[in-house]
Amino acid sequence: MWASVILRAMRGEYKVPGGKLVTVEFDEVDGKIASPHVAGDFFLEPDDALHRINRALRGLPVGARVSEIASAITAMLAPGDALIGFEPRDVGLAVRRAAGSSTSWDDHAFELIQDGPRHPYMQMALDQVYADALARGTRGPTLRIWDWASSAVVLGSFQSFRNEVDEEAADEYGVTVVRRVSGGGAMFIEPGNTITYSLVVPGSLVDGLSFEESYEFLDSWVLVALKSLGIDARYAPINDITSPAGKIAGAAQKRLVDGTVLHHVTMAYDIDSDKMLQVLRIGREKLSDKGTKSANKRVDPLRSQTHMSRADIVTAFVESFARQHTLVPSRVRPEEEAEAENLVETIFGTEEWIHRIP
């Protein structure tokens, strides 16, 4: 009879954004977690809740997903157990890192790209360029803050043009309609009224997370930034950032074959609601689950919530990211700009792409 063999001792840690450090150590025995020990600078009441957390980990597959680990812990906790500064999912992230399956924010240096306003077609193309660059290894993970040279409606990859856009109104107001590579809903853009950023990250950073969990995880840094500005911001599934005053932002993602993740977020700094409602066709079905009868009451922009200039908010975001993670200034390279221009000519600026779903 073969005896169980300890293959390796493992240790991982996860720092909760705006919260506490969670560490976990365990042995791998026949592909299972053995002798787990969770620790950290978090708060936990009562003391014996820690034993229940460790017991929940015992015997789980080393390759269990974060959601599976979190569910096992939640099922094991007793009524009244209070986890303060962390949650079961954070333990799951630490376990994935202990197993060597995932990387942490601190394992990467992010390249910051901020440049002048660009045409909406170019913005769509540059997102693709940076995702491809990370996949090829010609550029590292990036944080790109977008500026817009003209007004636009940005359609989700799977949206119908005619269902979402009033073409006559768009023409009247000089609004360019573009289509991004990610799913989700349409965004109404006006220069100076929007703060848009993209994160391009390796798949290892979101390893073990479901798509929905990865949205919250990749936006965790900006929730910290918003809270530093006095906004009680929170994540609202599946892909929104909101506050008690109203919706602030919407996110969307695209994953490449190699696992590279393109995650972009559009935030309302200010908004011309009347114009938006003329250009976008927002029907009753879209509004039915939003708890409001009017689309222009769904969004409360950053300008009214912070009373800060757009430039100052962007600066605060960049500084907050730099405090939480490693950020290195960079720029758009000439070859990347040329690649983006080619993508505009062949994909993003073509009628076939923009109207691919009529």
Residues 282 and 313 in one domain: yes
**How far, in whole angstroms, is CA 174 from its chain's centroid?**
30
Last residue in a domain, options 68, 98, 128? 98
pLDDT (tens place) for every residue of the chain, 358 residues total: 455 555 668 999 998 887 899 999 999 999 999 999 999 999 999 999 999 999 999 999 999 999 999 999 999 999 999 999 999 999 999 999 998 878 889 899 999 999 889 999 999 999 999 999 999 999 999 999 989 999 999 999 999 999 999 999 999 999 999 999 999 999 999 999 999 999 999 999 998 888 888 999 999 999 999 999 999 999 999 899 999 998 999 999 999 999 999 999 999 999 998 999 999 997 434 544 443 333 444 567 899 999 999 999 999 999 999 999 999 999 999 999 999 999 999 999 999 999 999 9
281 burial (CB, 10 Å; 0-12 / 13-18 / 19+) is middle
Task: Identify whether 243 is part of a domain.
Answer: yes
The pLDDT of residue 293 is 37
* Long-range own/partner contacts, residues 305-314 (CB < 8 A, 24 or more apart): 305/231, 305/243, 305/245, 305/248, 306/229, 306/230, 306/231, 308/229, 310/192, 310/195, 310/269, 310/270, 313/195, 313/229, 313/269, 314/114, 314/145, 314/195
- Same-domain status, 171 and 263: yes
Minimal CA–CA distance to 123: which of 155, 140, 147, 103?
A: 147
Same domain, 150 and 248: yes
Q: Which of 48, 71, 98 is a domain's end point? A: 98
Using alpha carbons, select from 140, 117, 137, 142 the residue that is nearest to residue 127.
142
- The reported pLDDT for the residue numbered 4 is 56
Secondary structure of the chain in HEC code, one letter for each residue: CCCCCEEEEEEEEEECCCCCEEEEEEEEECCEEEEEEEEECCEEECCCHHHHHHHHHCCCECCCCHHHHHHHHHHHCCCCCEEECCCHHHHHHHHHHHCCCCCCHHHCEEEEEECCCECHHHHHHHHHHHHHHHHHCCCCCEEEEECECCCEEEECCCCCHHHHECHHHHHHCCCEEEECCCCCCCEEECCCCEEEEEEEECHHHHCCCCHHHHHHHHCHHHHHHHHHCCCCCEEECCCEEEECCEEEEEEEEEECCCCCEEEEEEEECCCCHHHHHHHECCCHHHHCCCCCCCHHHCECCHHHHHCCCHHHHHHHHHHHHHHHCEEEECCCCHHHHHHHHHHHHHHHCCHHHHCCCC
pLDDT attached to residue 1: 45
Q: What is the pLDDT of residue 19?
A: 83
Going 264 to 221 to 224 to 313, the CA torsion angle's sign is negative
Residues 178, 250: one domain? yes
Q: Residue 343 and residue 129: Cα distance in Å, rounded?
A: 9
Q: Give the domain extent around 142.
A: 105-354
What is the reported pLDDT for 102? 85
Q: What's the CA gap between 123 and 343, in Å, rounded?
A: 11
Rounded to whole angstroms, how far apart are CA atoms 264 and 283?
A: 25
CATH number of the domain bearing residue 81: 3.30.390.50
159 in a structural domain: yes
Q: Quick one: 42 and 114 in the same domain?
A: no
Q: Distance of alpha carbon 109 from its chain centroid, rounded? A: 17
Instruction: Mark whether 44 and 116 lie in a shared domain.
Output: no
Give residues with Cβ within 8 angstroms of 73, minimum separation 6.
52, 53, 56, 57, 88, 91, 92
- Total count of domains within the chain: 2
Residues 265, 193, single domain; the answer is yes
Among residues 336, 339, 315, the alpha carbon closest in space to that of 327 is found at 315
Q: Are residues 123 and 86 in the same domain?
A: no
Domain boundary among 34, 69, 98: 98
Does some domain include residue 266? yes
Task: Indicate which CATH number applies to the domain containing 202.
Answer: 3.30.930.10
Q: Tokens for 198?
A: 């993209």
Q: Is the pTM of this model over 0.85?
A: no
Place of tokens 């020990």: 37
Going 127 to 218 to 269 to 330, the CA torsion angle's sign is negative
Question: Do 273 and 203 fall within a single domain?
Answer: yes
| Same domain flag for 125 and 49 | no
**Same domain (yes/no): 237, 289:** yes
- The answer to whether residue 1 sits within a structural domain is no
pLDDT at 291: 38
Cα distance between the two ends of the chain: 65
User: What is each CA distance from 30 to 5, 291, 349, in whole angstroms?
Assistant: 6, 50, 54
Examine the domain organization and report whether 202 and 177 are in the same domain: yes
